[in-house]
Amino acid sequence: MSTASQPQPQPGAPARSRSAAAIGWALTIGLNIVAPILTYGALTDHGWSEFTALLLSGVWPVLDTVVNLVWHRKLDEFAVITLFFLALTAVVSLVGAHSTRALLIKDSAVTGLSGALFLGSLFAPKPLMFYFGRRFATDGTPEGAAWWNGMWRFEGFRAVMRRMTIVWGVSYIVESITRVVLSYVLATGTMVVVSPILIYGTLGLLAVWTMRTAKRSRADGAARMAAAAATPGAAPVAGAGPAGA
3-state SS track over the chain: CCHHHCCCCCCCCCCCCHHHHHHHHHHHHHHHHHHHHHHHHHHHHCCCCHHHHHHHCCHHHHHHHHHHHHHHCCCCHHHHHHHHHHHHHHHHHHCCCCCHHHHHHHHHHHHHHHHHHHHHHHHCCCCHHHHHHHHHCCCCCHHHHHHHHHHHHCHHHHHHHHHHHHHHHHHHHHHHHHHHHHHHHCCHHHHHHHHHHHHHHHHHHHHHHHHHHHHHHHHHHHHHHHHHHCCCCCCCCCCCCCCCC
The low-confidence residues of the chain, meaning pLDDT below 70, are: 1-25, 28, 32-33, 50-51, 54, 65, 68-69, 71-100, 139-140, 221-222, 225, 227-245
pLDDT at 244: 47
